[in-house]
Amino acid sequence: MALRLFRAVGQDVVAPMIFKRGCAVSAYELQHKVPVQRKVEQIPKAQYGGRHTVTMLPGGGIGPELMSYVKEVFRFAGVPVDFEIVDIDPASEGNDDLEYALTTIKRNGVALKGNIETKSEATGVLSRNVAIRNELDLYVNVLHCKSYNAIPAHHQNVDVVIVRQNTEGEYAMLEHESVRGVVESMKVITVEHAARVARYAFEFARNNNRKKVTTIHKANIMKLADGLFLKVARDVAKEYPDIQHNDMIIDNCCMQLVSNPHQFDVMNTTNLYGSITSNVLCGLIGGAGLFSGRNYGDHYAVFEPGTRNTGTAIAGKNVANPVAMLQAAVDMLYHLGHRYHADCISDAIHKTIEFDGIHTPDLGGQNTSTEVIQNILQHLAEKRTYW
């Protein structure tokens, strides 16, 4: 965030010069014209008697109602997690709400979030979602797309993991109008971040018994930017001779996902291509309401629905699919080490979808959001889940 970069900077933080030619650089220039590689320092996490406190960012659209379902399930199952709820005003012309949200995440170390709208078009108001990822250096996003047998889909038996670079590329937020009517938007690719995400993809493949990593790019056109991303991936691949590596141009990749998604195992992508492929793949096997996304940095983790859709059109109608947010909460529990509670809730979700056929309209069903939750609670009632 531009406004935060004027603070004192530690030795592990790389910050731009804030003076040039004897003049102070404005916050706008700092945000939009100076590529910044952030490294955040860890601060001590708050501890509360063995329980975990997690920042909850409901966001807009269907976010608040989905979060209410998460709290209901956690309360019923006796999950040892307390939520610190932070609402960010999407119409705000300032960054105070965002600053406070970042402070709570740094204090708690973990967050569960919905998609947060940024309605202001003022240059000083940052995209909340992008700013959270950049400020916390959440350099990788992981989306596991595994099809359900009980859900009608274009393809069955799909099991693909997308590992997405999360903090640079076209999302670097470096734009300016060079002359009237001409806007330039910078795409930033660095060796450091390309290597981090590639190494994460290969380590994930090795640790999860997966055989292949496919790097997605457009190096035939963006020869320097995507060319660098591809080169770094190939260099990292040499360190993992047990993992097959290939690459694919994003255009062809989208077609291949639609026609034959089974050829993919783990995908290593730039920021924008990860967004595109995530939506294509989720759309093929069930839609936005099923899959969760995990955002990781060196010190912090944020969990959210995988396709980051706000769902404003269906908010308050009791038809939103709660599964993606619940899956994100399950991912969070695994991250925190609460494996038993995570297993219980995950199993209840799986049975509700696969065996009971309780499906919301987005999956071709007629059930409401609350009916899905009540069925999940019935399965949890059969288990010993209290703390």
Q: For residue 113, what pLDDT is reported? A: 93
What is residue 49's predicted lDDT score, i.e. its pLDDT? 63
Q: Which residue has the tokens 């009980």?
A: 150
Q: 32, 177 in Cβ contact below 8 A?
A: no
pTM confidence score: 0.84
Rounded Cα distance, 211 and 191, in Å: 25
Start-to-end CA distance of the chain, whole Å, equals 39
**Average pLDDT of the chain, as a whole number:** 85
Q: What is the pLDDT of residue 323?
A: 95
Domains and CATH numbers, the chain: 43-141+292-386 (3.40.718.10), 154-285 (3.40.718.10)
AA identity, residue 364: G
Q: Which among 67, 59, 131, 61 is positioned nearest to 94, based on CA atoms?
A: 131
Q: What is the DSSP letter of 40?
A: P
How much is the pLDDT for 96?
81
- Residues with pLDDT less than 70, the chain: 1-50, 91, 119-126, 384-387
Question: CA 274, 278, 279, 284: dihedral to nearest 10 degrees?
Answer: 140
Integer angstrom CA distances of residue 202 from 207, 250, 254, 266, 268: 9, 20, 22, 8, 9
At 342, list the tokens. 């995570």
Do 371 and 318 contact (CB within 8 A), yes or no? no
Task: Determine the pLDDT at residue 35.
Answer: 42
- pLDDT for 147: 93
φ/ψ region of 212 (left if φ > 0, alpha if ψ in -120 to 50, else beta) reads beta
Task: Report pLDDT for 95.
Answer: 76
| Residue 312: per-residue pLDDT | 80
From the number of C-beta atoms within 10 Å of its C-beta (0-12, 13-18, 19+), residue 147 rates as: buried
Q: What is the pLDDT of residue 40?
A: 54
pLDDT, residue 139, reads 94
Model confidence over 230-244: pLDDT tens digits?
999 999 999 999 999
| DSSP-assigned beta bridge partners for residue 330 | none
**What would you report as the CA-atom Rg of the chain, rounded to the nearest whole angstrom?**
21
Backbone dihedral angles phi then psi of residue 70, each to the nearest 5 degrees: -60, -45
Model confidence pLDDT, tens digit, residues 92-135: 777 788 889 999 999 999 999 988 877 666 666 667 788 889 89
CA distance 125 to 118: 8
